[in-house]
Structure 1
Amino acid sequence: MAIVVGYIPTKEGAAALTRAGEEALLRKTNLIIINSDRDGSGDGGDLESVRKDLEGKGVDIEIRQLVRGNEPAEDLIGVAEEIGAELIVIGLRRRTPVGKLILGSNAQRILLDAPCPVLAVKS
């Protein structure tokens, strides 16, 4: 069993990563960090720095940078199903009322379709 966290280099991504690391230590399990990019043009941030920081805290991690043309929700759910994850951690950002109607589909899909509990954190 493992914890899966969706990561992008934003304050919301950092908050999700921090909480996921805490959960991994608490549950004594490993952490799989997913950086999903539909077309390969995005920025995964400094994932080596992320790796060193978490390993320095005693977290056993695996980083998967996925460029498969999928929405991030598809990649997170797919990995969670593949490994039998016990938890998915995602970061949420504030949205305007109109933005809530139009955007946030990845978070919504993960919350509704995940094969395990989902922990959503704000920055």
Structure 2
Amino acid sequence: MTVFVAYAHTPEGQAALERGAQISRREQLPLVVFDLEAASDAPDRSIPATVPLPDGEGLDVRWLARDARSNDATGELIDLVHTVEPDVVVVGVRPRTSVGKFLLGSNAQRIIIDSPAPVLAVKADRHEK
């Protein structure tokens, strides 16, 4: 089985990556990181690690990128979750206003609702800048 992280280049994405790495290490499971902002033309979407993992030495990590031709990274992520069949999907979340929720929707909410695997939603440490 696997730990699957939805990674964005934000404090929330970093929090998700750190928690996913902790779970991977504790449970001795491979870690798959889907970089929502990186794009790849490679058929398997594998990319080199784009961010160093905190205490990542010894982890079995596979980095994936969205399809460069796609405009729906969240949809791709859901498709990959169906394929990978992870034990857990880790996603970073942040507070939003009611208007922001109404106008913009939420990628995290879509992942939580549409994921066939359990989803762990984590917040960034509010004291870090």
Distance 2:51 2:98 in 1: 36
Q: Residues 29-64 of structure 1: CA distance to partner in whole angstroms, max 9, x if unpaired?
A: 011010134977xxxxx944425x4532x3210001
Paired residues, what number?
Answer: 116
SS in 1 for 2:95: coil
For the Cα contact (< 8 Å) 2:9–2:37, is it kept in 1?
Answer: no
What is the TM-score normalised by the length of structure 1?
0.81
Q: Residues 15-41 of structure 1: CA distance to partner in whole angstroms, max 9, x if unpaired?
A: 01000101111221011010134977x
What is the TM-score normalised by the length of structure 2?
0.78
Alignment root-mean-square deviation, CA = 2.3
SS in 1 for 2:65: strand
Aligned structure 1 segments of 4 or more residues deviating by more than 3 angstroms: 37-40, 46-49
The percentage of aligned residue pairs carrying the same residue is 35
Q: Residues 64-116 of structure 1: CA distance to partner in whole angstroms, max 9, x if unpaired?
A: 11234142321221111111111101001121121122224211111111011
Q: Which has more helix, going by share of residues? A: 1
Distance 2:114 2:78 in 1: 7
Distance 2:117 2:98 in 1: 28
